[in-house]
Chains A and B, each alone.
Chain A
Amino acid sequence: MIRFGYDRPSDVAEAVRDGNARGVRFLAGGSNLVDLMKENVERPVRVVDINRLPLHAIEAQDGGLRIGALATNSDTAWDARVEAQYPVLASAILAGASPQLRNVATAGGNLNQRTRCLYFYDNTTACNKREPGTGCSAIGGVNRVNAILGTSPACIATHPSDMCVALAVLNATVNVTGPLGDRAIPFGDYHRLPGEDPSRDNMLKPGELVTSIDLPDEDFSGHYTYLKLRDRLSYAFALVSVAVVMRIEDGRIAEARIALGGVAHKPWRSKTAEGLLVGEVPSQSAFLAAAHALLEGAQGQGSNDFKIGLARRAIVRACRQAADGTPQSQIDKRVA
């Protein structure tokens, strides 16, 4: 860990001013940033602690909800409105980390957490995300946690979040502010693929700060699930996770949204795959067809080849859970 400057602004405008410089990092819960600073992976010159900004609230808005960027994961997961209207979000949050971490981790921080690629965390290795231009050690290396979709020759990292997988199927909007003013980013456009510049995880511009996340006026509480598969039954990052929400009308799927976690640089969705389910009676074959479409182009990297088959099965199972109205419990570890 290196020495760094520290600011603690009390309003958003001040934070944006403080944050508008090279080498500055916003600090919210710190559950990822501080770890990375201890490992000398993140080496901010200055840390702007945003915990005093008035961004903690979870507020009703136009039939939906606005989740403040500083709302903790625990506050969000146990919010009665979230539980009632967006249970897939509550479920995904509770599938992640531990109660202690969820008590400090924030909504905005969750969006901006960095990959868990083993090489990103180890300064002695080449990593294009950590040090652009040095190469990707994960390709051909220990990569059982790495991506199978949307990779590039420069990077096969995944985005590790559970919460974001649920936000992806909820068609959330990310509100940001920055030196050039406010803007709203559709969730599907917030994270990016590594391409030739893996050092950038998302579309935030320098100095921009997430202020809140909007959830639209929709209700999928009847048909949803978040299914997470990992190397132990709790407190591990997803090898593969699946968020599904559906509307079923007259026994047929009227709308389906499926997002995968743990397999790509961003929560992975496919309009084609989701379109295949529309009008279908829920069935194993329909789910399998969607799974194949969602995984189109999936490419193993050696020790993560298994993720393709695992994801296919997980998608089918999660669709079944959602269609049947038997969502995965995050307490009982038996797969529903």
Chain B
Amino acid sequence: MATKYDDAPIGIGSPLSRVDGKMKVTGGARYAAEHPVADLLYGVVVSGAIAKGRITKLHTDAARAAPGVVEVVSHLNRPHIAWFDKAYQDQVAPPGSPFRAFYDAEILYSGQPIALVVARTFEDARHGASLVQAEYAVEPHQTDFERSPEYKPKKTRDTFVEPTNRGDEAAAFAAASNKVDVSYYIGTEHHNPMEMHATTVQWHGDGRITVYDKTQGSQNVQAYLVGVFGFAKKNVRVMNPYVGGGFGSGLRPQYQVYLATLAAKMLERSVRVVLTRQQMFSFTHRSECRHTIRLGANDDGALQSIYSKAVTPTSRFEDYMEPIANWGGQAYRCDNATMDWAITAIDTYTPGDMRAPGAATGMTLFEMALDEMAYETGVDPLAMRLTNYSDRDEMNDIPYTSKALREAYREGAEAFGWADRGRAPRSMRDGTELVGWGVATGIWDAMFQKTSVRARLTANGHLEVATAGSDIGTGTYTVMTQVAAGALGLPAEQVTAVLGDSDLPPSPIEGGSWTAASTGAAVQVACDAVRVKLAKAAAKVDGNPLGGAAVDALRFEDGRMILAADPSKSVGYGEAMTAAGLSEIVATEAAAPGPLESIAEMVGMKKKAKNTHSAVFAEVKVDEELGVVRVTRIVCAVAAGRIVNPKTARSQILGGVVMGIGMALHEETLADHRIGRFMNHNFAEYHIPAHADVQDIEVIFVDEPDPEVSPLGIKGLGEIGIVGTAAAIGNAIFHATGKRVRSLPITIDKLLD
């Protein structure tokens, strides 16, 4: 089903335009650094210059003497903060000791914040920051992760999936008639959402603080601030009603919220801290990766063996790892598969989850290696994937709740015109350009997390649905609005969604593509509870026209309860509430995975795999002489369960695909290992796709009914769009040029001989 913006009814499936769109494009939506607060002080971060060592002297006198400067906060004068690591470990912290800015004189990575200059104006603070000088005792560092020893920590992240191996890979590989044995590399990426990380702490003076933070989880930040600074929970309110993108950079509390709160507590004043774009390169990032892949296959393309090992760096202070190596072994039928991983510790900040962490790296590189096998065996790359297709999660040997990937391949191939592809590399040409077509598979988790929503219906027919969760630009406000509108039969204009406030009912951080499924389900159950209360209230109406009918016997449409058996009989919501003496009906309900399911997942006994899939087809045109690559067409066919809103859903996939283009061709943070520092820390030299790099993108959602994956059959779309895209482009470049580049991004130098 191609996306069309036809008129559709309210509720799930309607292409409702962003309900927050107008606020955003007219400047009405306030972001973390934009909330007006009286008597505000401004903090500007001073960043460190070395990768490892100790600050021996911090010269702050000149800054203190500068006009407007109120204080220079550093390890020398910070107020008390918690001692134990536990206090700093947020909901998604990997095992280890989370970074604590200004804790002591130690330097753990280059770009680490070493001081915060607080002043009456932003300009004064910025001037003051330029006057702070540090002296260091420099110690030897290592930032080249391939020169640090590999290890597997005893404790892994809660979300990490230890691979399960099967068969005898070594023997099967030795016996295979076709072999691919390759090493792939992908460079470091920094998330770089449009909105810089920023925090405004409002100091109320009565023990309470309100913290406007750029975060993907208001309650995660609230718990962190309570733990680190010893506030009472009731005194810390964290707000993030609008978030200018995240991609994972705001999953964990980042140092700007810590610094702003530290300064506010120390000075007992309201403080705002905004990072610069350059400082956006001074914390978490998608780690680079060395991925070794070895495949054995029969002449018909049937895989006989899979070996996949991913090595990634982590910081010296936390053990961060992603499930990178597993995906190919899960996706394809193959009797012999060994997946392995290791991390190495280097002197950087801890890497973090970035859009489809693990899969965006691992599936991309695996799909490029699989493409190599297609050419090795002479099997069409799409046929190769169908030959090895599985309806089961091959790694865990369990079925999927649904997997319409076969349909995605078919509909995607049809839309793309794959059948017209010339087989051999360099066989298609358009003037001076070589034309290449590539395909790749995408896979991501379809997760569902416990979420609570409060629904409040007032007698004037207005419905508000509220939860602490976040809309990081993905469309959560819109999804909540339409689910609620559908559940209670109200026009979208009569529904208000409220998000981004830690005082609201509990919600997990916004990540993992689980928000639409989880928040949507919670909105549904909260509205269901309102319906029950409405039905009861209807019985109080004079003459009881609905005869005390139970909620199941009623239709909720156009603001009225209508007797299903006799539609001539109906009661308006306001009428019922007035009769029952109710000015409002409030229901707070949680949607959560069933208890059995939760336990099964915890002990690794889950019965069915829950995943989204995609088939990505890419066309590139490469100037034969110069290696200039143009991605002229992409078709991304997605199997992701029920599509809540085809318009916002398409936007999610478009964004993922564009980020995939960047992963394929542009994005890379370059480190100078001599000084242990990322060097291209600005948007002039860290390249993301410009408009000219983005041409035709077609998004297809295939039909995939799935009542099991989540209560509303929703799977989530935030991440699947990036998975596979870079591989499809890399494979298309090979098809065009005959040159296999095993290092992403594929920059022009890699295509020259």
A positions within 8 Å CB-CB of B? 1-3, 38-40, 43, 116, 118-119, 121-122, 124-125, 137, 140-142, 144-145, 229, 231-237, 239, 306, 309-310, 313-314, 316-317, 333-335
Contact = CB atoms under 8 A, between A and B. Distances in A.
Given A235-B692, A317-B626, 16 more contacts: A38-B276, A43-B130, A119-B679, A122-B679, A142-B671, A231-B747, A231-B748, A232-B665, A233-B693, A235-B690, A239-B748, A309-B753, A310-B626, A313-B626, A313-B752, A333-B630
A237 B684 CA distance: 8
B433 A233 contact: no
B749 interface: yes
B643 to A, nearest CB: 32
A314 B674 CA distance: 33
A1 B747 contact: no
Contacts of B684: 116, 236-237
A122 B681 contact: yes
Contacts of A314: 626
B49 A306 contact: no
Contacts of A141: 672, 674-675, 679
A229 B747 CA distance: 11
Contacts, number: 108
Interface string B667-709: 0001110110101111011010111110000000000000000
Nearest to B685: A118
Interface of B: 49-50, 67, 110, 123, 126-127, 130-131, 276, 278, 431-433, 621, 623, 625-628, 630, 665-666, 670-672, 674-675, 677, 679-682, 684-685, 687, 689-693, 747-749, 752-753
B749 A306 contact: yes
A317 B692 contact: no
B630 A118 contact: no
Given A137-B672, A141-B674, A229-B628, A234 B692 contact: yes
Contacts of B752: 306, 309-310, 313
A232 B687 contact: yes
Chief secondary structure at chain B's binding surface: loop
Contacts of B675: 124-125, 137, 141
Contacts of B630: 233, 333-334
B281 to A, nearest CB: 11
A334 B679 contact: no
A40 to B, nearest CB: 5
Residue in A119, A232, A316 whose Cβ sees the most chain B Cβ within 10 Å: A232
Given A142-B670, A232-B692, A310-B748, A335 B679 contact: no
A116 B686 CA distance: 12
B535 to A, nearest CB: 57
Nearest to B111: A124
Closest 6 CB pairs of A and B: A124-B49, A306-B749, A234-B692, A233-B692, A118-B679, A234-B690
B366 to A, nearest CB: 26
A236 B67 CA distance: 38
A49 B666 CA distance: 37
Contact of B127 (A2, A232, A233): A2
A232 B666 contact: yes
A333 B685 contact: no
A201 B67 CA distance: 34
Nearest to A122: B679
A202 B11 CA distance: 65
B369 to A, nearest CB: 25
Given A124-B677, A236-B687, A1 B748 contact: no
Contacts of B130: 1-2, 40, 43
A236 B126 CA distance: 28
A316 B687 CA distance: 27
21 contacts: A1-B130, A3-B67, A40-B130, A122-B681, A125-B677, A137-B675, A141-B672, A141-B674, A142-B672, A142-B680, A144-B670, A145-B685, A232-B665, A232-B693, A233-B628, A234-B693, A236-B687, A239-B748, A310-B748, A333-B692, A335-B433
Contact of A233 (B50, B671, B680, B690): B690
Contact of B687 (A40, A231, A306, A333): A231
Given A1-B123, A234-B690, A309-B752, A335 B685 contact: no
A236 B689 CA distance: 10
Contact of A313 (B625, B674, B682): B625
A118 B682 CA distance: 9
Contacts of A2: 127, 130-131
A247 B278 CA distance: 47
Contacts of B747: 231
Contacts of B67: 3
B122 to A, nearest CB: 10
A310 B692 CA distance: 21
A91 B484 CA distance: 54
A335 B693 contact: no
Nearest to B745: A231
A43 B127 CA distance: 11
Contacts of B748: 229, 231, 239, 306, 310
Contacts of A237: 684
A314 B67 CA distance: 53
Contact of A335 (B127, B628, B690): B628
Nearest to B753: A309
B689 A232 contact: yes
A40 B752 CA distance: 37
Nearest to A118: B679
A232 B690 contact: yes
Contacts of A317: 625-626
Contact of A1 (B127, B665, B680): B127
Contacts of B276: 38
A145 B685 CA distance: 9
A118 B278 CA distance: 12
Contact of B749 (A1, A40, A234, A310): A310
Contacts of B278: 39
Nearest to B48: A124
Contacts of A121: 682
A5 B680 CA distance: 31
Contacts of A38: 276
Contacts of A125: 675, 677
B127 A3 contact: yes
B627 to A, nearest CB: 8
Nearest to B623: A335
Contacts of B672: 137, 141-142
A236 B684 CA distance: 7
B118 to A, nearest CB: 16
A21 B753 CA distance: 51
Residue in B127, B627, B666, B684 whose Cβ sees the most chain A Cβ within 10 Å: B684
Nearest to B624: A335
A122 B680 CA distance: 9
A142 B626 contact: no
B432 A335 contact: yes
B534 to A, nearest CB: 53
A140 B679 CA distance: 13
A334 B49 contact: no
Nearest to B671: A142
A140 B630 CA distance: 31
Nearest to A1: B126
A2 B44 CA distance: 13
Nearest to B621: A334
Given A118-B679, A310-B749, A140 B621 contact: no
Nearest to B749: A306
A140 B674 contact: yes
Contacts of A239: 748
B114 to A, nearest CB: 11
A122 B626 CA distance: 31
Contacts of B685: 116, 118, 145
A168 B487 CA distance: 68
A134 B138 CA distance: 18
B295 to A, nearest CB: 30
A291 B488 CA distance: 73
Nearest to A121: B682
